[in-house]
Structure 1
Amino acid sequence: MRKGSTVPAIPAIVLGVDSPIGLAIVRSLGKHGVVVHAIGGNAGAIGLASRYATHSYIRATDETALIRQLLELRAETGPACLFTVSEGDITLLNRHRDALAGYTLLFPEDTQMKDVLDKGRTYGFARTVGIHVPATVHISSIAQVAEHCKDLQFPVVLKWADPNAVIKHLEAAGLEFEKMHYCFDLVELRDYLQRFSALGIYPMIQEYCPGVGLGQFFLMSHGEVLASFQHQRLHEWPPEGGISTLCESLPLDSHSELLQRSVALLRAMRWEGVAMVEYRYDPGSGKAALMEVNGRYWGSLPLACQAGAEFPWYAYCALGMRQPVRPVLYRTGMRCRFLVPELKRVFRLAFRRHHISDPMFQESAWRAFGSVIAGFLDPRMRYYVFMLSDPAPFFRDIYNVVAGAALSLLGQKRR
């Protein structure tokens, strides 16, 4: 649907505007004239500074108060679309889905979220449509490690099947949550897993998949693809794998067979709404391995929106207003970067390279530094936070970074 083709009839409430994801939702909707009520965790939330946030609110402090806040807001606004960003908030809101029935809820239902939060379930669906998944081992005791892992080649990668479900257990046991961890031999693997013995829960043990991050993005409704987009990750933070800090939009005729399989996967899951299907793609072999499906708006959403694939606006029109969506052709070859983590990445490569555990990682600090500098001169470059037409969130983000660093230094001096 093109800008200006219809007059938005109902407002949107966006919960979680503290990140570039929430900011991108606010901007996408606001640019098209939607009245946006933005809710941030505190006064420093970058989305609250956006010119497109018509009304700004600080999030209530606990779950009960948050639901009350949303119900009071609904009473003021009348019918409205409710967007949210994080998996934790989707889970929280789904516990109160009946109470929030006055909203048009633009996030997945609980049963759908369980299929994507649990990688074992996701991989089961993927196998049925012919998508390659990494060889994965699940154990219930240390005694099973040698037998279950005998056919895996090292290094191996350890990940939690359902990170959101395990974090609270790790915190209670005083254990740090790691998104992924590499082990290079059986002895190291057994030693690392030993720390989880008291809990009786262990991460998945997965084969290492070389390559680059490839993301394919969709808006689904009743099995129909309403919008699609894809990108390649060029840089990540941390460098061995994490959030995308530099990515580039790709044409839809690239990896077209894989795109079809991704759609088949979402149809098998009976998915409704937005989703990201994430792969590790090896350019040398041409093979792709499924990493996960994100059933929410993804970290690199600013790239999609700035390239012309405005998923929040499409979702508002199609799922909120029940109007047809006619996506414009998005711009390919556009790049977008998350500047602060990108600078942290350069610092890690230059001064703390020993913290990078990926055995295949080879980029030099000088190359990374040169890439950052060249990016400022690249006409293809856009930014997760900075936007010339909406600069205030960038300055708030810089203030937050500086203030956080100052408080950290003060804390160290007092010790």
Structure 2
Amino acid sequence: MPHTARPELDRDVPVLMVRVGHYPYSHSPIGAVRSFGRLGVPVHAMVEGRWTATATSHYLTGVHVRPTTGREPAAELIETIRSVAHSIGRPAVAVCTDDESACLLAEHAAELAPDLLLPPVPADLPRRLADKGGLYQVCRANDVPSPRSATPATMDELLDAARELGYPLVLKNLAPFSRLDHPLVSHTTVIHDEADLRALDRGPAQPAVLAQEFLPPEHCEDWFTHLVCGPCGVPLLVFTGRKERDWPPGGGFTTLAHSLPNPELAALATDLCRRIGYSGIADLDWRYDRRDGRYKLVDFNPRQGAQFRLFETTGGIDVVRALHLWLTGRPVPDGPQLVRRFRVGRLDLLSAAAHAWQDRRPPRYLLPTRGTVRAWACHDDPVPLLYELARTAGTATTRTAGRLTGHFARAR
């Protein structure tokens, strides 16, 4: 792997990792903490508890324990974020790791401006993009390919949409905050028939889901673009890569991926961001449908993606470092992206086993090689991995076993 330089960030400008909701097992924040910490930038993080894995990183300057559920009134959440930012004592670059915090920061940028450095994104845009139905309308308005979708308001409408779109059917929780408050499904879920769909019926409550056309995996490839855009959607840094495995299989988060330059996909992503005026970090998920030769946008996350550390230029720039450079008035150096892999250890092992069982073949699980970025394991910051292993030994193992059993049962 080519030697990477150490970019010069302004060490006088700290970073605040902003979080809304309960994500104690997420590996997204620890990646950003390490990325900044290795360059000497002070990093503060909002965490669920003092002994979460992120809070144990020796690269963290400030631990701010602020447990939230996402169900609190917006004014209360904003005051929580503002008080943490103000306590740092100087303006900090804000980095969001969830859709809810990205929406709040955009909508209340004026209130937070004295304490946080934020990209000038249109106030309503992150919420529209993070809302699955809103994204579908954005795609249609801008001639961006996407799977056929519907946003039913009742269970009867959901049943009608399923009949029109056909089975299998993909269901996704519709919007930020509602996915935390009253989710219909726990994650992106494939529904195989009407009986499965009726089993989700919550009575008179609105489903709050997006019903989406199923794109068969045997005809498709999963890709993503991670990027940073300046004012008016001008691209500052763009990466592309391909997902190889996820957990739970078929609708979960990435457990194995590799970076792969794809100029066509990069152009699609940056053209969309220019058209809508998106500014800041974004993580876009695409499916390449070999049947019609088109990349179809399935998700637009207005924040850093969980696997963002997969992507780095030969000059040592990733998306969070690029954001810091831009918001502190420094140029963002261009450069080719490194070709490497990203792996989420134990969960990728389970994903490999699930795919092998489904395809009736031996598992193809390769040990990490040189150039593989690992979500938790890190020689210069080992404690978060040890704590994550200890913390998840009980609850995560039980939950994972349940999901694996359910996956095998459906595959039969």
**Pick from 14, 36, 40: which aligns with 1:33?**
40
1:22 is paired with a residue whose SS is helix
Q: What runs of 5+ residues in structure 1 fail to find an aligned partner?
A: 171-175, 354-361, 409-415
Counterpart contact for 2:239–2:266, Cα < 8 Å: no
Q: Is the 8 A contact 1:12 1:35 kept in 2?
A: yes
1:220 corresponds to which of 222, 229, 234: 229
1:305–1:41: structure 2 CA closer, same or farther, 3 Å change rule?
A: farther
Distance in 2 between the 1:13 and 1:127 partners?
35
Q: Using a 3 Å threshold, how does the CA distance of structure 1 residues 218 and 53 change in structure 2: closer, same or farther?
A: same
* Aligned equivalent of 1:87, options 81, 88, 99: 99
1:38 & 1:161 partners in 2: Cα distance?
27
Q: Hey, what's the Cα distance between the residues in 2 that align with 1:403 and 1:151?
A: 42
- 1:209 paired residue among 209, 215, 232: 215
Q: Contact 2:85–2:115 at 8 Å: present in 1 too?
A: no
Counterpart selection for 1:396 from 382, 387, 397: 387
Query: Residues 37 and 189 of structure 1: is their aligned pair in 2 closer, same or farther, counting only changes over 3 Å?
Result: closer
Question: How far apart are the structure 2 equivalents of 1:224 and 1:94?
Answer: 18
Aligned residue among 200, 205, 226 for 2:206: 200
1:316 aligns with 2:324: yes
Indicate yes or no: 2:148 matched with 1:135. yes
Deviation at 1:26, TM superposition (A): 1.1
Residues in 1 aligned to 2:159 and 2:309: alpha-carbon distance in whole angstroms: 44
Query: Is the CA contact (8 Å cut-off) linking 2:313 and 2:335 kept in structure 1?
Result: no
Give the deviation of 1:314 after TM superposition: 0.7
SS of the aligned residue for 1:340 comes to: helix
Pairwise CA distance, 1:330 = 2.0
Residue 119 in 1 paired to residue 129 in 2?
A: no
Q: Could you say if the C-alpha distance between residues 163 and 83 of structure 1 is closer, same or farther in structure 2, counting changes exceeding 3 Å?
A: closer
Distance 2:67 2:160 in 1: 49
> How far off its partner does 1:336 sit?
1.0
2:402 — aligned with what? none
Q: How does 1:150-189 map to 2 (within 5 A)?
A: 151-162=164-175, 164-170=177-183, 177-185=185-193, 187-188=194-195
> Equivalent residue of 2:311, what SS?
helix
8 Å CA contact 1:44, 1:400 repeated in 2: no
Describe the shift of the 1:392–1:106 C-alpha distance in structure 2 as closer, same or farther (beyond 3 A): farther
Matched, 1:380 2:371: yes
Equivalent residue for 1:23, pick from 17, 27, 30: 30
Q: Structure 1 CA distance, aligned partners of 2:302 and 2:169? A: 26
1:360-392 Cα deviation digits (max 9, x unpaired): xx444732xx41xx223x223220111222222
Does residue 355 of structure 2 align to residue 366 of structure 1? no
CA contact (8 A) 1:11 1:80 kept: yes
Question: Which of the two has higher C-alpha Rg?
Answer: 1
Taking structure 1 as reference, are residues 153 and 310 closer, same or farther at Cα in structure 2, changes over 3 Å only? same
The list of structure 1 runs, each at least 4 consecutive aligned residues, that deviate by more than 6 angstroms after superposition, is 405-408
Q: Which residue of 249, 259, 266 corresponds with 2:259?
A: 249
Q: TM-score, normalised by structure 2?
A: 0.80
CA distance in 2, matches of 1:297, 1:340: 22
Contact 1:59 1:66 in 2 (8 A): no
Work out the CA distance in 1 between the residues paired with 2:186 and 2:161: 22
TM-score (norm 1): 0.80
Instruction: Name the CA distance, whole Å, in 1 between partners of 2:189 and 2:116.
Output: 39
* 1:272 corresponding residue in structure 2: 279
* Distance in 2 between residues matched to 1:73 and 1:143, nearest whole Å: 45
Measure, in 2, the Cα distance between the counterparts of 1:403 and 1:149. 37
- How large is the RMSD of aligned CA atoms in angstroms? 3.2
Q: 1:285 to 1:57 in 2, by over 3 A?
A: same
Aligned residues: 381
Q: Distance in 1 between matches of 2:367 and 2:336?
A: 24
Counterpart of 1:231 in structure 2 is: 241
Q: CA deviation at 1:89?
A: 2.9
- Aligned pair partner of 1:3 in 2, 6, 16: 6
